[in-house]
Amino acid sequence: MSKAGKNWNPLTFLADNAVPIVFIAISAVAIPLSGFSFSHLVQELLIRIGRNSFLILSLLIPIMAGMGLNFGMVLGAMAGQIGLILISDWAIVGIPGIVLAMLVGTPIAILLGILCGNVLNRAKGQEMVTSYILGFFINGLYQLVVLYFMGWIIPITNPVILLSRRYGVRNTVNLQGIRGVLDNLLPVSFPFFGGTVRVPLATLLVIAAFCLFIVWFRRTKLGQDMRAIGQSQSVADSAGIAVNRTRIIAIVISTVLACYGQVIYLQNMGTLNTYNSHEQVGMFSIAALLIGGASVSRASIANVFAGVVLFHLMFIVAPMAGKNLMGQAQIGEYFRVFVSYGIIAIALVLHAWKRNRDREASRRSLRGPAEGGEEA
């Protein structure tokens, strides 16, 4: 028997995979209750994989650098939304509009990423809480810019976007000019279990290219430095790695990618909720990643896609399952929002428990040889 087989512990396996196991069980119960056809579920999952995966993938690089779950990704989402507001005012539509929104958002995301990275370097060990609070602070600045500066200091001329007082952006911006343009760029459809499934091929190809970028990036010198920092900052510093600078780069990359991910997300939705679209981005993306089996200190591309499927499968079936079971669809809505927050709390508790367990195991392994030597 292999060493891995000898050391396999069912309790440890259940503890390490408790979250995805629970969601698989919930889905197994909720899917029949929802009454949805298999083709409908596959169609909805393909749409949500294309809509959400890029955002969740942007979380992997800070985790690789040992910075935990980057709640500060909302900073990148806000940068992307500013780009979308401006291209809507300029009436630039289609793929050029999406590309320009990303280009406009990129320097804003870089500046916000540098700010976030410097703040997190002063809060080592508390990055997740700090990035969460920083998101609220930058959200206040974002709302100041959008509600007061746009149309007054920042030129906005489209009356459909502006409030009646001629400055400030309306609560909702119609993104009809770019709605679904990436999803429909390479349309593919096929019959599936009595229905027709449409595949957003161009969006999935962009996501696949991003996955290849992550695989390549991990093998670069910078990627290896981030992994070394993630394992031990003190050892990485002793090896001559610029720890603080590398951590800032990790956050900047994550923030810029979140900017692009928010643009992809909103082109699918077709509507920008100016003051709220970004608020739940970090929470739902992190919840999906954790549901896929990731942890605060370890995450992979496989965790991203497993999380998107499990988390959004619950989003699809929960309202209808609640309606069919209890007579009220709102119960399913409450349940999935509760799960989004609850799963993050559970993951943080499990992370603390696993860290204490690993420390205790390390102490026992260090004591073992010494005790063995005394007996000899």
Q: pLDDT tens digits for 244-273?
A: 999 999 999 999 999 999 999 999 999 999
Where do we find the tokens 């050029």?
Answer: 96
Confidence of residue 1 (pLDDT cuts 50, 70, 90): very low
State the Cα–Cα distance between residues 311 and 333, nearest whole angstrom.
13
Residues 296-308: what's their mean pLDDT? 90
What sections of the chain are H helices per DSSP? 3-7, 10-16, 18-34, 38-57, 60-64, 73-89, 94-121, 127-144, 201-219, 221-231, 233-238, 243-269, 281-291, 301-326, 329-375
- Between 349 and 273, residue with greater pLDDT: 273
State the Cα–Cα distance between residues 318 and 311, nearest whole angstrom.
11
Q: Taking the model in full, what pTM does it have?
A: 0.87
Q: Kindly report the average pLDDT of the chain as a whole number.
A: 86
- 95, pLDDT greater than 90: yes
Query: CATH number, domain at 123?
Result: 1.10.3470
Report if residue 99 sits inside a domain. yes
103 contacts 238 by C-beta, under 8 angstroms: no
Residues 176-200: what's their mean pLDDT? 88
Question: 67-71, 74-78, 152-156, 365-369: lowest mean pLDDT where?
Answer: 365-369
Report if residue 343 sits inside a domain. yes
* Residues of the chain above pLDDT 70, percent: 89
Q: Six-digit token pair at 91?
A: 């009436």
Report if residue 370 sits inside a domain. no
State the Cα–Cα distance between residues 26 and 3, nearest whole angstrom.
34
How many structural domains are present in the chain? 1
Domain containing residue 143: 3-358
356 contacts 342 by C-beta, under 8 angstroms: no
Report if residue 341 sits inside a domain. yes
DSSP 90: T
State the Cα–Cα distance between residues 296 and 68, nearest whole angstrom.
5
How many whole angstroms from its chain centre is CA 198?
A: 24
pLDDT digit string, tens, across residues 205-237: 999 999 999 999 999 999 999 999 998 899 999
- 171, pLDDT greater than 50: yes
Report if residue 326 sits inside a domain. yes
- 22, pLDDT greater than 60: yes
Classify the phi-psi angles of 223: left when phi > 0, otherwise alpha if psi is within -120 to 50, otherwise beta: alpha
Confidence of residue 290 (pLDDT cuts 50, 70, 90): confident
What is the pLDDT at residue 328? Answer: 66
- Between 230 and 3, residue with greater pLDDT: 230
Residue 155: is it exposed, middle or buried by C-beta count within 10 angstroms (0-12/13-18/19+)? exposed
What is the pLDDT at residue 311? Answer: 86
Residues 71-97: what's their mean pLDDT? 94
Report if residue 366 sits inside a domain. no
DSSP 346: H
Contacts 24+ apart (CB under 8 A), 311-314: 311/23, 311/284, 311/287, 312/44, 312/45, 312/48, 312/49, 312/52, 312/288, 313/27, 313/31, 313/41, 313/45, 314/23, 314/26, 314/27, 314/30, 314/339
- 333, pLDDT greater than 70: no
Report if residue 368 sits inside a domain. no
What is the pLDDT at residue 259? Answer: 96
What is the pLDDT at residue 222? Answer: 94
- Write the CA distances from 194 to 33, 39, 130, 307, integer angstroms: 20, 7, 50, 27
Report if residue 285 sits inside a domain. yes
What is the pLDDT at residue 211? Answer: 96
